[in-house]
DNA sequence: TCCGAGGCAGACCGGTCTGTACGCCTCGGT
DNA sequence: ACCGAGGCGTACAGACCGGTCTGCCTCGGA
């Protein structure tokens, strides 16, 4: 019995930070919590250090700047959210590559209904900082990694043109996230239906 | 021969502000230009007043706060972008309701390729401020108006369940915008293909 | 026992933020 | 001829920003 095991997979799995209580871990854990919920510009360094119980000097000893911490946050988000929460969970729920692909939107459905649903940090940071900013570029890179997971599943499933398939699939993922942010709790179902049609049209007929 | 008639429909049509040179118009025109490109928090009041050649007292005489100006900007964006640039242009390009629906993604294709492509301000503001913020709620409202235009076209086309159709369609619109922001210039084509399948499945068979 | 690395607390810097206030000027109506 | 509305420029308040720096304390290894 650890923290946040009440509803679905935990956002911050104990395995990632288990037992560690070093300042750098507290900073990262706090950054994950605050950045994912309120964005980058919405969280200041002073709040970060006070919330993580760390002095300012310690903060800047581990991270040369706030942007450096944001980069570390994005990488942590890739591990915790993309890999552990979405990809791994979808793979667990499906038995075949196609089922695993479609299960992504089942996982989305559960995720959308969490009261602490915070949308996709990569999209948030990309739009907040702009595509030209280093943090925006990093976000684009992590978004492409998500597409890579989809493409790998598409290849396993033997679908046609897996790269283009993944790009179309990703449109459904991102669009449904925005719709969920607007309050459409059924956005995952709508996207999943369109995803089924996409699979049909990419099957080697 | 007016301004920005070089490539496609103008972002700020002369008709909207034609001839008017009042301070409030200059403020709004500047706000449109800056907010749509750099977001809300990325533009300060000092820059707004200096760029529009207006004193600070004049600014606060017309808009009681920066948020009030943002609300006015969102409404202007609804008129200039949603109505004049997207809906009207798509209707102009298509002869039937279904063609007009699909033409939305043709307009998107042209829009995505502009070097001053700035994504969707409603999505930007929603993610920047959060769904609970008044500006976020206003953005959700303007996004629902976009869905209303789609739903109206779906009803004209006699499609099944036009409201759900519009929600799915909107997922494709928003997802393709994010993909275009990432740099995928063909996102409009991918979304349009999925949109065709969506129409097929909503036709009264 | 000592000593240095690392952590905590907080003052401080220059800059930026939204918003207020004050002084001066230029109009247009009476 | 006058007078007030409205516009311009600017100084300023109060808060917050990212980032630097100093001082004190604790702990672990030689």
- pLDDT for B127 equals 98
- pLDDT for A21 equals 78
pLDDT digits (tens, 9 = 90+) for A45-66: 999 999 999 999 999 999 999 9
Determine what percent of chain A is predicted with pLDDT higher than 70.
90
Question: pLDDT grade, residue B47 (50/70/90)?
Answer: very high
CA dist B147 and A137 (Å) reads 30
Handedness of CA B79, B83, B89, B95 (dihedral sign): negative
- pLDDT for B22 equals 79
Task: Give the 3-state secondary structure percentages of chain B, helix then strand then coil, rounded to 5.
Answer: 75, 0, 25
* Cα B160 versus chain centre, distance: 26
If one compares A6 and B50, the residue with the highest pLDDT of the two is B50
Determine what percent of chain B is predicted with pLDDT higher than 70.
90
DSSP character at residue B87: I
B185 inside 8 A of chain A by CB? no
Question: pLDDT grade, residue A8 (50/70/90)?
Answer: very low
- pLDDT for A17 equals 53
Instruction: Please provide the DSSP assignment of A60-117 as one string.
Output: HHH-SSHHHHHHHHHHHHIIIIIIIIIIHHHHHH-SSHHHHHHHHHHHHHHHHHSTT-
Complete domains list, chain A, with CATH: 74-202 (1.10.357.10)
Closest by CA position to A124, among listed B82, B194, B109, B136: B136
CA dist A11 and A98 (Å) reads 26
- pLDDT for A103 equals 98
Q: In this model, does residue B16 exceed pLDDT 90?
A: no
Q: Are A131 and B193 within 8 A, CB to CB? A: no
Query: From the CB of residue A23, how many other CB atoms can be counted at a distance below 10 Å?
Result: 16
Q: Are B172 and A175 within 8 A, CB to CB? A: yes
CA dist A191 and A71 (Å) reads 30
Average pLDDT value for residue range A173-194: 98
Q: Are A197 and B193 within 8 A, CB to CB? A: no
DSSP character at residue B204: -
For chain A positions 124-153, those within 8 Å of chain B (CB to CB) are 124, 126-128, 130-131, 140, 143-144
Question: pLDDT grade, residue A160 (50/70/90)?
Answer: very high
Q: Please answer whether residues B90 and B107 qualify as being in contact, where contact means their C-beta atoms are separated by less than 8 angstroms.
A: yes
For chain A positions 4-33, those within 8 Å of chain B (CB to CB) are none
B174 inside 8 A of chain A by CB? yes
Q: What is the CA radius of gyration of chain B?
A: 18
* Cα B154 versus chain centre, distance: 20
- pLDDT for B5 equals 31
Helices (H), chain B: 14-17, 23-38, 45-52, 56-62, 66-77, 88-93, 97-113, 121-129, 134-156, 162-182, 187-202
Helix axes B162-182, A134-156, angle to 10 degrees: 120
Q: In this model, does residue B12 exceed pLDDT 60?
A: no
Which protein residue lies nearest to nucleotide C17, measured between its Cα and the C1' atom? B44
Distance A23 CA to C8 C1' (A): 11
B121 inside 8 A of chain A by CB? no
Determine if strand D comes within 7 Å of the CB of B56.
yes
Question: pLDDT grade, residue A159 (50/70/90)?
Answer: very high
Q: Are B167 and A175 within 8 A, CB to CB? A: no
CA dist B177 and A174 (Å) reads 9
- pLDDT for A204 equals 77
Q: Where are the beta strands (DSSP E) in chain A?
A: none
Q: Which range (A102-106, B12-16, B55-59) has the least confidence? A: B12-16
Q: In this model, does residue A10 exceed pLDDT 50?
A: no
Q: In this model, does residue B13 exceed pLDDT 60?
A: no
Distance A61 CA to D21 C1' (A): 13
Q: Mean pLDDT for chain B?
A: 91
Q: Are B183 and A127 within 8 A, CB to CB? A: no
pLDDT digits (tens, 9 = 90+) for B107-132: 999 999 999 999 999 999 999 999 99
* Cα B46 versus chain centre, distance: 26
Q: Please answer whether residues A72 and A28 qualify as being in contact, where contact means their C-beta atoms are separated by less than 8 angstroms.
A: yes
Average pLDDT value for residue range A176-204: 97
- For A64, A118, B74, B130, B147, the CA distances from A182, given in Å and listed in that order, are 36, 11, 16, 10, 12
Residues in chain A: 205
Average pLDDT value for residue range A161-179: 98
């Amino acid at each position: 019995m650890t923290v946040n095991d009440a509803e679905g997979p935990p956002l911050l799995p104990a395995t990632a930070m288990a037992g560690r209580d070093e300042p750098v871990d507290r900073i990262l854990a706090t950054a994950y919590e605050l950045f994912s919920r309120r964005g980058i510009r919405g969280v200041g360094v002073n709040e970060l250090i006070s919330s993580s119980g760390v002095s300012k000097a310690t903060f800047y000893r581990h991270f040369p700047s706030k942007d450096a911490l944001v980069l570390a946050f994005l990488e942590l988000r890739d591990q915790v959210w993309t890999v552990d929460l979405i990809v791994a969970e979808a793979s667990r729920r499906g038995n075949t590559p196609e089922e695993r692909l479609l299960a992504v939107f089942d996982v989305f459905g559960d995720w959308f209904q969490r009261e602490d649903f915070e949308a996709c940090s990569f999209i948030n940071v990309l739009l907040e900082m702009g595509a030209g900013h280093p943090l925006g570029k990093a976000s684009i890179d992590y978004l492409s990694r998500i597409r890579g997971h989809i493409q790998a599943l598409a290849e396993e499933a033997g679908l046609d043109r897996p790269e283009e398939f993944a790009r179309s699939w990703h449109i459904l993922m991102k669009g449904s996230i925005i719709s969920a942010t607007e309050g459409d709790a059924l956005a995952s179902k709508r996207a999943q239906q369109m995803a089924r049609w996409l699979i049909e049209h990419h099957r080697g007929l």
